[in-house]
Amino acid sequence: MLLEKCQLKAQLLAFSNKFTITAPTRVMEEYCMGDSENPKPNADAFREVFSPTDVKLDVELLPYFYYESTSGEIWVVSYARQHTEFICVIDEMFARNVCNLLKVKVIGTIGIIKEMKDNDFLTRQDLRNIRSAIKNCRFYLSKELLHQLDQICGSSI
């Protein structure tokens, strides 16, 4: 979302210089498949921002994911369970609920935007662009998350 739809490669690169940003190889594979809104994602940009890493699947997670290991979320949670200093970045509610159930730290896109703003990686114009991009794409946000986005971006923006 932040890389392709919000065009924040430079800001994410700067953020990644202060904070380690890694992604399981399976997440990169999913990203590279693209979607209807973004059929040709920039895999090179993904590799620059997110350090792809091989992850050993945490088989204890399989029942939570209906014994399906193809989604990126199970790999993100597996990594975070093996590296407890890391925080999962997951927007999908089901996987977030699994994280909460298993006491795995989790944050979503809105939380990352807040972290980037709080650490001065985003300008007022970046925030305007993010707000517009998120509100104009098929990315679903609840009313509560839309309100949080407005608060982060500043209602006067």
pLDDT recorded at residue 156: 46
- Read off the pLDDT of residues 110-130 as tens digits, 9 standing for 90 and up: 999 999 999 999 999 999 999
- Read off the pLDDT of residues 39-82 as tens digits, 9 standing for 90 and up: 788 999 999 999 999 999 999 999 999 999 999 999 999 999 99
- SS3 per residue for 11-66: HHHHHHHHCCCEEEHHHHHHHHHCCCCCCCCCHHHHHHHCEEECCCCCHHHHHHHC
* Alpha-carbon separation of residue 36 from 33, 47, 137, 138, 139 (angstroms): 10, 21, 11, 10, 12
Looking at 36-40, 54-58, 131-135, which range is the least confident one?
36-40
CA dihedral 58, 56, 97, 8 (to 10 degrees): 180
Q: Which residue has the higher pLDDT, 37 or 28?
A: 28
* Alpha-carbon separation of residue 108 from 59, 120, 125, 151 (angstroms): 24, 18, 21, 16
**Is 70 exceeded by the pLDDT of residue 157?**
no
State how far the Cα of 32 lies from the Cα of 132, in Å rounded to an integer: 24
How much is the mean pLDDT over the chain?
92
| C-beta separation of 39 from 11 below 8 A | no
pLDDT recorded at residue 155: 61
pTM for the structure as a whole: 0.90
What average pLDDT does range 139-143 have in this prediction?
A: 86
